[in-house]
């Protein structure tokens, strides 16, 4: 049997590539994001990344910073101990840095005259009802927190730099804080928080003894 020459073999390999150029490969269509009543501004993928506490299901795949990973909190329960007191969704968000879908949270449209929003994990008071405001972003928004209750960390996930906020007592993930968006609040800040990370308690926070 005659062995084909090098040129013939090369033509046999490259012929399928010429008949199917890279430009002919069909790319899957991405879902188009549209404005909602609670969010009148045009929604883009960049807007969603910046506005959201964290991207759903992917939050646990990216660490906020090496500093946070080494940080020690007063409440040092293990993952197994947290699973014993949190439901699966609470664990995903508080301990794995997930998020809830915009507009679905229990406290998104919750505006009581008085009360305290506490950490759903360790029940430490974080925000007062008077610090909450309507932002239209799809998640509970606060212009400030109870002094010392929230810790900030640099989050460099998804190719951008944001400021993550966690419970200062247990390190539970709350969301992110944004500044300079132009809201008419005393701080011009928006603490964008997952409802799942919170519980609501009536009455004003009690001072620590």
Task: State the catalytic residues.
Answer: 192
How do beta strands 116-119 and 150-155 pair?
unpaired
Residue 147, C-beta contacts closer than 8 angstroms, at least 6 positions apart:
none
Do residues 63 and 173 lie in contact, with contact meaning Cβ atoms separated by under 8 Å? Answer: no
How would DSSP label each residue in 7-59? HHHHHHHHHHHHHS-GGGPPPPPPPPP--BTTB-SPP-HHHHHHHSSS-TTTG
The token pair at 172 is 């539970």
Residue 118 and residue 129 in contact, taking contact as beta carbons nearer than 8 Å: no
> CA torsion, points 160, 162, 166, 172, in degrees to nearest 10?
-20
Residue 175 dihedral angles phi and psi, to the nearest 5° = 160, -135
């Amino acid at each position: 049997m005659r062995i084909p020459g090098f040129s013939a073999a090369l033509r046999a390999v490259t012929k399928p590539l010429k008949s199917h150029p890279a430009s002919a490969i069909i790319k899957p269509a991405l879902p188009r994001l549209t404005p909602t009543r609670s969010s009148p501004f045009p929604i883009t993928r960049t807007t969603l990344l910046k506005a959201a506490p964290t991207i759903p299901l992917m939050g646990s795949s990216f660490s906020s910073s090496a500093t946070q990973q080494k940080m020690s909190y007063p409440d040092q329960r293990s993952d197994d101990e947290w699973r014993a007191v949190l439901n699966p969704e609470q664990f995903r968000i508080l301990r794995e840095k997930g998020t809830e879908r915009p507009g679905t949270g229990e406290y998104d449209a919750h505006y009581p005259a008085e009360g305290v929003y506490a950490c759903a994990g360790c029940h430490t008071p974080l925000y007062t009802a008077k610090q909450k405001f309507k932002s239209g972003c799809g998640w509970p928004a606060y212009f400030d927190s109870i002094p010392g209750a929230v810790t900030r960390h640099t989050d460099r996930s998804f190719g951008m730099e944001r400021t993550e906020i966690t419970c200062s007592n247990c390190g539970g993930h709350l969301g992110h804080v944004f500044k300079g968006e132009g809201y008419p609040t005393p701080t011009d800040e928006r603490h964008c928080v997952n409802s799942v990370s919170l519980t609501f308690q009536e009455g004003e926070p009690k001072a620590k003894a």
